[in-house]
């Protein structure tokens, strides 16, 4: 009855299977404070209760990526404990605000399976959904990972992999309350709004942050994410990395916080179109972020915000400005060696 090292291997997944993840987690003001200390965000809806209430929220909403990481963390023991690589995200949407006191649970559905040609591993694609204690869906996204087979000789199911949208359609995004229009520009940090941003613009967010082992571990444990590569420095010495890998979501949260400089009124995250952790991040790396405006969309019937499609780039040990030329070239898929994260998402930008 002793458990094995835990987690499913490729042959343990069945197409269409639905998996309920343990353990529901109640989020409270302490989680806000810790997230604040980890990333230093300054977006007004997450920082100020009166501003959030004036905007029409019941209370101060938790950061979208915090909610995402909590849901993601729950999926790890079932989905990616034996993953070799986290390959991509798509079709992500934030559907409802999460407040202090809410309890988040998660479930996933196996959407795609395809054995790799080497017979030793395969791709598992899941659609993961987070719920609050009222069983309302708060976030959903698709991700796919490469998972080892336990037994290379095990037979594999017929390959099946759904086609994914290149981006969430703006009309499918869930807008925030209309009270966003009441935000004060002196308090939010900028008088730049939706109409001030042009597609194609590249913004260098300028700040650099050196990463620490204790910080990414605190974060990853707060998310109840149990992937061993983040914690076991001794076992990592035996790998090609030689040290603990930082959870990719930790970099996403830094990117969001850093993007405040120049995108102050991007009041919340709306959707996740695609994301690539292009290189591993380690303690001691210093990261920088820049963002390119990829698209913008007004939503019929929504006055207070418009949707901006952003591509966040995070570099390591080289200011993002140095590679801006490369990363802002939408046509090429070339990724400079120094690129750590390439994240394509929708945000809600306040308008006046």
C-alpha span between 336 and 346 (Å, rounded): 23
Residue 88 in the binding site for a copy of itself (CB under 8 A) = no
Q: Which is nearer to a copy of itself, 49 or 84 (CB)?
A: 49
Q: Which is nearer to a copy of itself, 17 or 232 (CB)?
A: 232
- Helix ranges restricted to H, 12-98: 29-39, 44-47, 49-54, 64-79
Residue 204 in the binding site for a copy of itself (CB under 8 A) = yes
From the list 52, 120, 141, 93, the residue with the least C-alpha distance to 269 is 93
Count Cβ neighbours within 10 Å for each residue of 218-257 and write b for 16 or more, e otherwise. Answer: ebbebbbbbbbbbbeeeebeeeeeeebbbbbbbbbbbbbb
C-alpha span between 292 and 310 (Å, rounded): 6
- Cα pseudo-dihedral 279, 283, 289, 294, rounded to 10: 30
| Phi, psi of 126, rounded to the nearest 5 degrees | -125, 150
The CB-of-23 to a copy of itself minimum distance in angstroms stands at 5
- What residues from 117 to 136 belong to the interface with a copy of itself (CB under 8 A)? 133
- What residues from 37 to 76 belong to the interface with a copy of itself (CB under 8 A)? 37-40, 42-44, 47-51, 60
C-alpha span between 284 and 211 (Å, rounded): 5
From the list 298, 46, 45, the residue with the least C-alpha distance to 194 is 298
**Across the beta sheet with 83-94, what order do the strands follow?**
18-26, 103-115, 121-131, 137-148, 83-94, 266-277, 339-350, 305-316, 286-297, 202-210
Residue 214 in the binding site for a copy of itself (CB under 8 A) = yes
Give the interface segment with a copy of itself, choosing from 120-128, 146-154, 155-163, 214-222 (CB under 8 A): 214-222
Q: Which is nearer to a copy of itself, 75 or 276 (CB)?
A: 75
Q: Which is nearer to a copy of itself, 37 or 165 (CB)?
A: 37
Number of residues counted as binding a copy of itself (CB under 8 A): 81
- What residues from 250 to 279 belong to the interface with a copy of itself (CB under 8 A)? 261-262, 264
Residue 215 in the binding site for a copy of itself (CB under 8 A) = yes
Give the interface segment with a copy of itself, choosing from 114-122, 149-157, 208-216, 271-279 (CB under 8 A): 208-216
Q: Which is nearer to a copy of itself, 150 or 162 (CB)?
A: 150
Residue 229 in the binding site for a copy of itself (CB under 8 A) = no
Residue 191 in the binding site for a copy of itself (CB under 8 A) = no
- What residues from 139 to 178 belong to the interface with a copy of itself (CB under 8 A)? none
Contact 252, 230 (CB under 8 A): no
Q: Which of 136, 151, 172, 196 binds a copy of itself (CB under 8 A)?
A: 196
Residue 105 in the binding site for a copy of itself (CB under 8 A) = yes
Q: Which is nearer to a copy of itself, 157 or 189 (CB)?
A: 189
- What residues from 275 to 334 belong to the interface with a copy of itself (CB under 8 A)? 284, 286, 317
Residue 324, judged by CB atoms within 10 A of its CB (0-12, 13-18, 19+), counts as middle
Residue 1 in the binding site for a copy of itself (CB under 8 A) = yes
Residue 351 in the binding site for a copy of itself (CB under 8 A) = no
| Alpha-carbon radius of gyration of the chain | 20
């Amino acid at each position: 009855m002793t458990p094995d090292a835990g987690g499913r291997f490729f042959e343990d997944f069945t197409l269409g299977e639905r998996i309920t993840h343990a353990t529901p987690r109640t989020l409270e003001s302490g989680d806000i404070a810790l997230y604040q200390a980890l990333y230093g965000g300054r977006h007004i809806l997450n920082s100020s209760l009166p501003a959030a209430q004036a905007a029409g929220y019941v209370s101060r909403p938790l950061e979208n990526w915090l909610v995402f990481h909590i849901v993601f963390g729950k999926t790890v023991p079932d989905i990616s404990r034996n993953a070799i690589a986290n390959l991509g995200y798509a079709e992500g949407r934030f559907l409802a605000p999460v407040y202090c006191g809410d309890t988040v649970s998660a479930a996933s559905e196996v959407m795609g399976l395809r054995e790799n040609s080497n017979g030793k591993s395969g791709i598992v694609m899941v659609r993961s959904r987070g719920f609050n204690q009222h069983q309302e869906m708060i976030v959903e996204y698709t991700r796919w990972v490469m998972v080892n087979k336990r037994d290379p000789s095990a037979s594999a199911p017929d390959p099946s992999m759904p086609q994914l949208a290149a981006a969430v359609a703006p009309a499918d995004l869930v807008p925030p309350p209309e009270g966003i229009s009441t935000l004060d520009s002196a308090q939010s940090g900028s008088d730049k709004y939706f109409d001030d941003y042009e597609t194609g613009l590249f913004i260098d967010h300028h700040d650099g942050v050196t990463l620490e082992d204790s910080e990414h571990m605190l974060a990853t444990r707060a998310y109840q994410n149990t992937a061993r590569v983040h914690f076991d420095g001794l076992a990592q010495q035996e790998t090609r990395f030689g040290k603990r890998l930082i959870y990719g979501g930790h970099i996403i949260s830094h990117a969001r916080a850093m993007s405040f400089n120049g995108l102050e009124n991007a009041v919340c995250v709306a959707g996740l179109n695609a994301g690539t952790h292009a290189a591993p991040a380690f303690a001691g790396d210093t990261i920088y972020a820049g963002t390119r405006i990829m698209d913008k969309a007004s939503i019929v019937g929504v006055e207070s915000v418009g949707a901006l499609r952003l591509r966040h780039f995070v570099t390591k040990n080289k200011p993002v400005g140095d590679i801006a030329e490369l990363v802002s070239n939408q046509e090429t898929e070339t990724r400079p060696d120094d690129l750590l994260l390439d994240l394509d998402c929708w945000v809600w930008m306040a308008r006046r």
